[in-house]
Structure 1
């Protein structure tokens, strides 16, 4: 069985290997076994790379050096785990306001809603910033299907058994769950992961 990989280095695009690519419209995008995906935000062939990173002098180094510790919010039956570094502001947690609060006034109240509702909300988080613990087990892997879904005007949503490889051993912080979001607007300070900069840049693609 072929192993899906996404390989990146400081100045290069993402190299997706043996990984299905799905457009923001939900339709598969035909690609060769190995394809280059834009991460500078300037390609005219998005989500594919057209070499623009070389023209604009793209540098894919992480700028945010602060990696906060995981936050644990313990309830009677479930513990919510929050990785603040991976959060890119998708906002699905706001759908369960009693537990997670709002964008402007976030909170974490694990006893404020049924456990099944909390789990369903956490599993919508595309970046892996939210996960949960029940008993002694930490649940952070949910996907049976392996693919990269191109977010509309947003990041690459990686799902399933994809190995993310830093080909130059840079100081990037790499996510550990089976789902994560990769910046493709070029603006994230947490490269390669998305930090929501596409919203500020009004990125299109």
Structure 2
């Protein structure tokens, strides 16, 4: 069966094809900086033929839908940024190494910087292999794919499993190029990693834009 996600008009994400549903949480440093991801259900991924995942943010059975979208007021309007990632993303860096950044789909996961530096500063100094390696690691941990990088003009993506991971108090991290069909029947740009809003507040629905933090979303 093909892994697919269909967005119900005014309703949940309908996940089909036996997609593993896992949970990924950041491992933090003593300074409160995210270092890497931990899959908390690696050996017990829930795999069902079809599941409905909450999109409105009001379900009492998160991440699963309990029908709350029909009882609460929420705006499920599709406001995803126009065009493709390659058309929107800004380039940083120079010859041999570039970092690309698409702000409207940033979820503010925090892997792009620390108390010393960030990927935008490192992109300009990537002729140093140590700096380049650290920048690559930071970019590859970006769940939304807002950040990507290219080496000698060729984009390189991390090898990610085909799954839907629930980020605690945050979005759904969809990886492995799973097809996402919007409520109007069109398909979202197919990418190796995207994050889907589950607080109901994003201005880039169905994509997450980090609004869950300001909204105080939990679940």
TM range (shorter): 0.7 to 0.9
Equivalent residue number for residue 188 of structure 1: 202
The 3 A distance-change label for structure 1 pair 49 and 12 is same
Equivalent residue number for residue 93 of structure 1: 112
Equivalent residue number for residue 111 of structure 1: 124
The alpha carbon displacement at 1:32 in A equals 2.7
The alpha carbon displacement at 1:188 in A equals 0.6
TM-score between the two structures when normalised by the length of structure 1? 0.84
Q: Report if the CA contact (8 A) 1:77-1:115 is conserved.
A: no
Quick one: distance in 2 between partners of 1:184 and 1:156?
7
Quick one: distance in 1 between partners of 2:81 and 2:47?
35
The range that moved more, 146-155 or 108-117, is 108-117
Counterpart of 1:178 (choices 177, 183, 192) is 192
Q: Report if the CA contact (8 A) 2:23-2:167 is conserved.
A: yes
Q: Report if the CA contact (8 A) 2:103-2:146 is conserved.
A: yes
Quick one: distance in 1 between partners of 2:180 and 2:82?
21
Q: Report if the CA contact (8 A) 2:177-2:191 is conserved.
A: no
Quick one: distance in 2 between partners of 1:89 and 1:56?
27
TM-score between the two structures when normalised by the length of structure 2? 0.79
- 1:72 partnered with 2:94: no
The alpha carbon displacement at 1:125 in A equals 0.3
Listed as ranges, the gaps of 5+ residues in structure 2 are: 25-38
Equivalent residue number for residue 203 of structure 1: 217
The alpha carbon displacement at 1:136 in A equals 2.7
The 3 A distance-change label for structure 1 pair 126 and 96 is farther
The 3 A distance-change label for structure 1 pair 23 and 138 is closer
Quick one: distance in 2 between partners of 1:158 and 1:63?
18
Equivalent residue number for residue 15 of structure 1: 14
Quick one: distance in 1 between partners of 2:150 and 2:76?
33
Quick one: distance in 2 between partners of 1:162 and 1:23?
17
Counterpart of 1:136 (choices 153, 160, 163) is 153
Q: Report if the CA contact (8 A) 1:95-1:121 is conserved.
A: no
Counterpart of 1:53 (choices 56, 61, 69) is 69
User: Deviations for 1:22-46, whole angstroms, at most 9, x for unmatched residues?
Assistant: 1357124535301100010111110
The range that moved more, 46-55 or 29-38, is 29-38
Equivalent residue number for residue 104 of structure 1: none
RMSD: 2.4
Listed as ranges, the gaps of 5+ residues in structure 1 are: 101-106
The alpha carbon displacement at 1:175 in A equals 4.4
Quick one: distance in 1 between partners of 2:181 and 2:115?
34
Equivalent residue number for residue 33 of structure 2: none
Runs of 4+ in 1 over 6 A off after TM superposition: 64-68
The alpha carbon displacement at 1:63 in A equals 4.6
